[in-house]
Amino acid sequence: MCGIVGYVGDQQAAPVLLDGLARLEYRGYDSAGVAVFGDQGLEVAKAKGRLQVLSDLIDGGRAIHGNVGIGHTRWATHGAPSDVNSHPHMSRSGRIAVVHNGIIENYAELKAFLMGEGVEFASETDTEVVAHLIEYFYKKDNGDLLSAVNRVLHRLEGAYALGILSADDPDQLIAVRKDSPLILGVGQGENFLASDVTAILRYTREVIYLEDGEMALLTPQGVRCFDHLMRPIEKALCHVDWEIDAAEKGGYEHFMFKEIMEQPDAIRRTVSPRIKDGRVHFEDFGLSDQDIREMSRMYIVACGSSYHVGMVGKYNLERMLRRPVEVSLASEFRYMDPIVDEKTLVVVISQSGETLDTMAALREAKRLGAKVLSIVNVMGSSIARESDVVLYTWAGPEISVATTKAYSTQLAVLDLLGLYFAQRLGTLPEEEYQAILDSLLHLPEQIEQVLEQREQIQYLASQFFNHSSVFFIGRNCDYALGLEGSLKLKEISYIHSEAYASGELKHGTISLIEEGTLVIALATYAKLFDKAVSNVVEVRTRGAEVLALTTEDHRADMEGIGAAGVVTVPHSHPVVLPSLGVVPLQLFAYYVALMRGCDIDKPRNLAKSVTVE
């Protein structure tokens, strides 16, 4: 979703802004713009379409001179993608420029007020009201920009991260945030603001995380932060240790493929340090053994693929803990009046740690008295900071919109959590505990074996890439896996695809099966393999072409009933099998999208981090 970069220092700002915006492209956007102050005053360039269009317009940044500026990639909400609706937005005098992520919910009311004051609007955006309103108070406050911004903040409803530049105070930038991510990068004689650390990693690794309601004033010499009453506050400087090349393609054609291939290492990094003397060990775990024993109910709350991790997690955790685990979409949880009290544990899963619905669900859970444990990839993200306990997935930066390594590491952490709780609750026999732990430790090398089958998967993709509709079927964890396989395929290849619990086929979906329909049958769970065979036979009888995913020992059975292709995963504990099974599904989606010529890393209409409702 929208991206923000700001720069103040001694370099030419425009190339730095373009570079930062390029690193935010992965978040999804439809237009881009920059505003830079220099010897020509405040110059603005904006363009609909890819960042390259903007870059060409300003000759890679060389056409605009100046050492302070703000940039933005926009993902349209209010007003269609267009040059004029792109950010930065200017105040009426053209002396104040604003970039904004989030949504100003009361913009209509503010706009009516400003129009009453004679302000004319250029765009259809909610953001433009902010630029005009700052100018309105700036005049009233006799040219004190910071206090004008502060007065505006007290009138805005909704979510926002803002970067503000004024031609009257051209040696500074102002940053503010509420419910939308914004960090400050601290350099030597230069400072940055950004919605995402990857935008500034090339320039500095020292960052400050702004909290809701806080403001910052950045000059080349330093950063000063203020609370919502404009009282100066001290903020901690945090060091980001992500490698810069982790956010580069490193010779791969697509980030998605690179990230698929990185999964063994990512899981190793996530799992190994948490196993000591044959036991799962979490450092500084904020739940006591008593908290765990008193836990009466558990929710897993997330969006998108993270929710699908929760679906697998439900099967796995209930199996290990014999406690009810409910999985809820974060967008539903916040409005469903959930049954939550102090004995409830709410596990929140989020790669970015910034998904707005997930964040809102977290706050609702806390309001109701629950303890919140989050599984998050991005250090210092909002969800991580507001949780009682955080377990990080050490997957490194994930750039491709379609998640792969974040999904896998989230799943591994959830399995570790299951083992950790099971030991305290005494719900798993020792051999079972060790078998799961052992399978988790072997997971990276087994994923490497699955990745070796990529040519076969590519071949299967070449046989089926032109299908227009696909069904994924499976039972138990294989059903949960199907949900993710189906999402992967549809989000990057634009093929209509759905996942069904196999037992539901006869309740409607089977009427859609006709000659040539592609069905992907997931049958890794040995206990239910015979049921899977029956479902394959059922759909084959009605003319479906079937691709099957199963374990090596069942390959011949699947071939025997006429599957057009069989992909296998090595034998593992059933709890860990979905972590293996997801890999061929990611590869299949990737190759299908490749053959269809899709924009794999940046699928249409999608955003990596959904920071609006």
Interacting residue ranges for ligand G6P, rule: CB under 6 A: 303-306, 350-352, 355, 358, 401, 403, 606, 608-610
Closer residue to ligand G6P (CB): 186 or 303: 303
Residue 353, token pair as written in the block: 């740690």
Which of 75, 69, 58 lies closest to 12 in space, CA to CA?
69
Among residues 178, 314, 488, 608, which one is catalytic? 608
Q: For helices 577-595 and 454-464, give the axis angle rounded to 10 degrees.
A: 50
Query: Where do we find the tokens 């991260």?
Result: 161
Do residues 58 and 52 lie in contact, with contact meaning Cβ atoms separated by under 8 Å?
Answer: no
In the complex, the smallest distance separating the C-beta of residue 346 from ligand G6P, rounded to whole angstroms, is: 14
The edge-to-edge listing of strands for the beta sheet with 518-523 is 496-501, 469-474, 518-523, 545-551, 565-569
Mention every residue, 6+ apart, whose C-beta is less than 8 A from residue 368. Answer: 338, 340, 341, 344
Q: In the complex, what is the shortest distance from the CB of residue 329 to ligand G6P, in angstroms, rounded to a whole number? A: 10
Tokens describing residue 524: 């890794």
Across-strand partners of 376?
350, 392
Residue 608 is a catalytic residue: yes
Is 481 buried (19+), middle (13-18) or exposed (0-12) by CB count in 10 A? buried
C-beta separation of 521 from 532 below 8 A: yes
CB of 259 to ligand G6P, least distance (A): 11
Q: How far apart are CA 175 and CA 214, in angstroms?
A: 8
**Looking at beta carbons only, is 272 or 605 nearer to ligand G6P?**
605
Closer to ligand G6P by Cβ: residue 406 or 443: 406
Judged by beta carbon, residue 355 or residue 551, the one nearer ligand G6P is: 355
Q: How far is the CB of 390 from ligand G6P (least distance, A)?
A: 14
Find the residue with minimal CB distance to ligand G6P: 304
Looking at residue 19, the DSSP 8-state letter turns out to be: H
Annotated catalytic residue, options 2, 303, 477, 598? 2
**Sheet strands (E) in 168-292:** 173-178, 183-186, 191-194, 206-209, 215-219, 222-226, 232-233, 238-239, 275-276, 279-280
Nearer to ligand G6P, 441 or 606 (CB): 606
CA atoms within 13 A on the CB side of 518: 20
Which of residues 260 and 610 has its CB atom nearest to ligand G6P in the complex? 610
Least separation in angstroms between residue 254's CB and ligand G6P is 15
Virtual CA dihedral for 525, 528, 529, 532, nearest 10 degrees? Answer: -110
- Cα separation, 364 vs 145, in Å, equals 35
CB of 224 to ligand G6P, least distance (A): 31
Closest CA to 35 of 79, 70, 75: 70
Cβ 491 to ligand G6P shortest distance, Å: 7
Q: What is the DSSP string of 404-448?
A: SHHHHHHHHHHHHHHHHHHHHHT-S-HHHHHHHHHHHHHHHHHHH
Q: For residues 127 and 609, which CB has a smaller minimum distance to ligand G6P in the complex?
A: 609
Q: Rounded CA gap, 494 and 533, in Å?
A: 29
Smallest gap, in angstroms, from Cβ of residue 610 to ligand G6P?
5
User: Which C-beta is closer to ligand G6P: that of 129 or that of 375?
Assistant: 375
Q: Cis peptide before 15, with omega less than 30 degrees from 0?
A: no
Sheet containing 41-48, strands listed edge to edge, beginning at the edge strand earlier in sequence: 41-48, 31-38, 68-74, 3-8, 191-194, 183-186, 206-209, 238-239
**Distance of CA 326 to CAs 15, 55, 138, 347, 482, Å?**
48, 48, 51, 10, 19
Least spacing, CB of residue 15 vs ligand G6P, in Å: 29
Q: Which residues pair with 371 in a beta bridge?
A: 345
- Provide the minimum distance between the beta carbon of 351 and ligand G6P in the complex, in angstroms, as a whole number: 4
Cα 577 from Cα 442, distance rounded (Å): 11
Report the amino acid identity of residue 436.
I
The residue among 300, 308, 260 whose CA lies nearest residue 479 is 308
Interhelix angle 263-271/430-451, nearest 10 degrees:
160
Question: Which candidate, 609, 271, 239, places its Cα nearest to that of 440?
Answer: 271
In the bound state with ligand G6P, the residue whose beta carbon lies nearer, of 351 and 476, is 351
Catalytic annotation present for 303: no
Residue closer to ligand G6P, measured from CB, 176 or 487: 487
SS3 472: strand
Nearer Cβ to ligand G6P, position 64 or 347?
Answer: 347
Smallest gap from Cβ 364 to ligand G6P, in A, equals 16
Active site residues: 2, 608
